Structure 1
């Protein structure tokens, strides 16, 4: 539950090694959150053995590193929970495990996924399908499970880290972009379904954010840091926003990009 002054107290991060996700959690911890659950692949094992995330996933180091970072920021509890995006049958159990550890969930952050390279996907349909699972279908089962919990609680915010890549899909990253487009649409629909329940969805649309996952991608105009995304999310939680763009100017940039004729859009550099 939120604490006596209405600040976030408990947080579940789906994608417990995500650099963006951890920046958001740290920002919330510095503002008063005290109980955190980090859900990631082999999280419980890596807490003991310092195992890194498997290649391809967005990673900020080990779960032990993340725990220490959040405890230093002011968290009093940081719990690891095993979570596999490709195992939808387990996702309701992950949410239930988090509730068992910290009680009602004030904020759930959906920040897992992979970026990969379009040139690889062009020649490897299996890898492309795996990326689509990590970036879209895995979010559907987790989102439905989270929504059920928040609806039962009668409060809480589901923060979904989308991307401007899904606003209009480019040929340079159409596997990733199409999955983000699906995720964005799903998150908006889920938010509408939760309307009136006391729970809500906050969709986050960052542009290029330099992280380990995006290190192989050239920088794009109007980049943002993970800390700037975290600040925007904190502001969105306070204001009750449904969508935040990071940086804000991208909202107007993509309003124009949506109007470009397809013949011009496909000529954008890869």
Structure 2
């Protein structure tokens, strides 16, 4: 169960090598989180992340999880929940893709969509059901401002995040009143390995800043978190810009 300050004592991360997720785990472990499951494809990076959290005092475990293997999600995630209640699930897996390449290679574009959206639908529904059976817990979904309005430069990635965002909001409505809290996190450009080499967008942020926003949102039981917060106003304005004008904007 969460402690009196709303800090989860157990955490499941789907996407166990995500820089944002690991920054969040570090913050929570320095508070009261004691059990951390890192779910992802087996790799030295996954093992290294678990070892770091153990050095910080957490009981960190790894579990093999592939967003693209939806048929295995029920079994894999069921085993995690069978080990004990999970106070917080952080869905942090996703790929950016390469827009220029993916437009000419539809199967590559489909892989982006399947990873970011359909994989999340499968895992999200399974985790939501398990949390509801517990009667408590938070499901935190890493979305993106890219999903607010598709841009020419990354509409494949943006559309996959738009689908994820809409799914998570609807899931939150479906779970309202059950004791399960769903929080959608919408970061802007995050300086990370995934964005290395890309031109930095205005108001760029860091994994640590997103982690702080997640922790604050959990404490407040927020339903939507923007990082940085000013993006809420900016994206609200951009959503209503006429398309002929929007096409000419340097966004």
Q: TM-score, normalised by structure 2?
A: 0.96
Q: Which residue among 157, 175, 178 is the counterpart of 2:138? A: 157
Instruction: Provide the secondary structure at the position in 2 that maps to 1:93.
Output: helix
* 1:203 pairs with one of 172, 184, 200: 184
1: CA distance, partners of 2:96 / 2:179: 33
CA distance in 1, matches of 2:107, 2:6: 46
Q: Do residues 21 (structure 1) and 21 (structure 2) align?
A: yes
The Cα of 1:6 is off from its aligned counterpart by 5.2
Who is 1:96 aligned against?
A: 78
User: Considering only aligned residues, what root-mean-square deviation do their CA atoms show, in Å?
Assistant: 1.3
* 1:63 and 2:46 matched: yes
Check the 8 A contact 2:117/2:164 in 1, yes or no: yes
- Indicate which of 21, 43, 64 corresponds to 1:82: 64
Q: Whole-Å Cα distance in 2 between the matches of residues 20 and 7 of structure 1?
A: 17
Equivalent residue, structure 2, for 1:53: none
CA drift of 1:165 comes to 0.2
Q: Which runs of 5+ in 2 are unaligned?
A: none
Give the match's secondary structure for 1:8.
coil
Query: 1:107 — aligned with what?
Result: 88
Partner deviation per Cα, 1:242-266 (whole Å, 9 max, x = no partner): 0000000000111111121101112
Matched residues in 2 for 1:95 and 1:26: separation?
Answer: 22
Tell me, yes or no, if the aligned pair for 1:81 and 1:97 is still in contact at 8 Å. no
Contact 2:6 2:219 (8 Å CA) reproduced: no
Alpha-carbon contact 1:172-1:269 (below 8 Å) kept:
no
SS of equivalent residue, structure 1 residue 158? strand
Cross-structure match for 2:171: 190
Matches of 1:174 and 1:268, distance apart in 2: 15
Which of 1-10 and 155-164 deviates more?
Answer: 1-10
Task: Give the length in aligned residue pairs.
Answer: 251
SS in 2 for 1:177: helix
Q: TM-score, normalised by structure 1?
A: 0.90
Gaps of 5+ in 1: 51-61
Provide the rounded CA distance (Å) in 1 between the counterparts of 2:209 and 2:147: 20
**Cα deviation, residue 68, structure 1:** 2.1
Residue in structure 1 matched with residue 56 of structure 2 by the alignment: 73
